[in-house]
């Protein structure tokens, strides 16, 4: 059996789409369709059910993928790393949100680089969850950190850690807000205060309001800047209220630059996922970074 046909089959099985598989393989969609049909003729069985959006594997298709994928992944590892190549010289491409990647992931991974490291160069890029997952699926990244769990079999996600969100403001704003009023359902007392956010849709504030106050924020963003570190800096100078991850503002809270306005019994949480393309953990440099981050995350909660 032609290994190229099997590789195309496994890619379609993981991608759930001839179109996406074609993009990953660098082939045209008709070429992918032709290869799958050739494989189906050789086996005498249908491997996929064609649907309006993508394809669904048949029972035979699932069985073949289960048997073939691990061996193909091992062959890919041999081809990419090389029998005589020192795997310590590989480059790891990491992608994730700018603040979390800069503050958490990159400092953790530097232990695997440098003179005393175990061996790889590191390249990082920043983006939102959608951009990051698309780049990972297309092969631009080796590892991705996102706040969205991907669907389908092409990408494999593992919960990495939870971050607690905190409602903060500079002390002068905190002095004007009664904690007793904040603990009531609804939060009209806050609707007259300026809000600092990363997007016009107020994603962090809206999530906090829904979780803690069971309501939606009525205010609009006074300062909108697409970086949580900048949001913290603006909050510390008194520009308004902000919802921030505790890990990011812990030192500012300790110094008194900002104040937590509320300490809910069940604080709002957001989960980060560590995501890889299915099968790529067979590559030593990706597996090492993956396990290193999971180990480091145990100290982040």
Report residue 71 as tokens. 């061996």
Confidence of residue 88 (pLDDT cuts 50, 70, 90): very low
Whether the Cβ atoms of residue 110 and residue 94 lie closer than 8 Å to each other: no
Domains 94-161+271-298 and 163-269 share a fold: yes
Quick one: pLDDT at residue 20? 82
- The fold for domain 94-161+271-298 equals D-Maltodextrin-Binding Protein; domain 2 (3.40.190)
Nearest to 268 by CA among 202, 205, 215, 188: 205
DSSP-assigned states of every residue in 13-65: HHHT-HHHHHHHHT--HHHHHHHHHHHHHHHTS--EEE-SSSEEE-HHHHHHH
Torsions phi, psi for 187 (to 5 deg): -145, 50
Q: Where are the beta strands (DSSP E) in 34-142?
A: 48-50, 55-57, 91-96, 121-126
User: What is d(CA 216, CA 3) in angstroms, rounded to the nearest whole number?
Assistant: 54
- Listed by start position, the domains of the chain span 3-82, 94-161+271-298, 163-269
Q: Which of 9-18, 143-152, 244-253 is the most confident on average?
A: 244-253
Residues 251-258, mean pLDDT to the nearest whole number:
96
Nearest to 274 by CA among 69, 136, 152: 136
Structure letter (DSSP) for residue 241: B
The rounded percent of the chain whose pLDDT value lies above 90 is 45
Quick one: pLDDT at residue 218? 82
Q: What CATH number does domain 3-82 carry, 1.10.3720.10, 3.30.413.10, 1.10.10.10, 1.20.1050.10?
A: 1.10.10.10
3-state secondary structure 186-240: CCHHHCCCCEEECCCCCHHHHHHHHHHHCCCCCCCEEEECCCHHHHHHHHHCCCC
Burial class (CB in 10 A: 0-12, 13-18, 19+), 251: exposed
CATH 3.40.190.10 fits 163-269, yes or no: yes
Quick one: pLDDT at residue 27? 80
Nearest to 137 by CA among 92, 169, 99, 95: 95
Average of per-residue pLDDT values in the chain: 86
Quick one: pLDDT at residue 174? 82
Task: Compute the chain's Rg from CA coordinates.
Answer: 24
Confidence of residue 182 (pLDDT cuts 50, 70, 90): low
Model-level pTM?
0.73
């Amino acid at each position: 059996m032609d290994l190229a046909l099997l590789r195309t089959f496994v890619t379609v099985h993981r991608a759930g789409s001839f179109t996406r598989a074609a993009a990953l393989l660098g082939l045209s969609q008709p070429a992918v369709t032709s290869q799958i049909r050739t494989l189906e003729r050789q086996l005498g069985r249908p491997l996929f059910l064609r649907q309006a959006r993508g394809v669904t594997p048949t029972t035979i298709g699932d069985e073949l993928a289960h048997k073939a994928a691990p061996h193909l992944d091992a062959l890919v590892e041999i081809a990419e790393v090389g029998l005589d190549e020192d795997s310590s010289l590989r480059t790891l491409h990491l992608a994730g949100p700018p603040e979390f990647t800069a503050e958490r992931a990159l400092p953790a991974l530097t232990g695997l680089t440098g003179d005393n490291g175990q061996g790889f160069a590191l390249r990082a890029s920043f983006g939102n969850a959608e951009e990051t997952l698309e780049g990972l699926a297309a092969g631009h990244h080796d590892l991705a950190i996102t706040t969205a769990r991907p669907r389908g079999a092409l990408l494999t996600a593992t919960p990495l850690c939870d971050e607690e969100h905190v409602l903060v403001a500079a002390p002068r704003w905190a002095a004007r807000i009664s904690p007793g009023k904040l603990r009531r359902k609804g939060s009209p007392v806050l609707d007259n205060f300026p809000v600092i956010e990363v997007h016009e849709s107020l994603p962090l504030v809206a999530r906090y309001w829904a979780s803690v106050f069971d309501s939606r924020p009525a205010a609009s963003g006074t300062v909108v800047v697409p970086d949580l570190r900048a949001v913290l800096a603006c909050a510390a100078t008194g520009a308004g209220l902000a919802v921030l991850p505790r890990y990011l503002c812990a030192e500012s809270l300790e110094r008194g630059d900002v104040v937590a306005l509320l300490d809910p019994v069940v604080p709002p949480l957001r989960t980060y996922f560590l995501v890889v393309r299915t099968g790529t953990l067979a590559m030593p440099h990706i597996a090492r970074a993956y396990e290193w981050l999971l180990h480091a995350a145990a100290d982040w909660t």
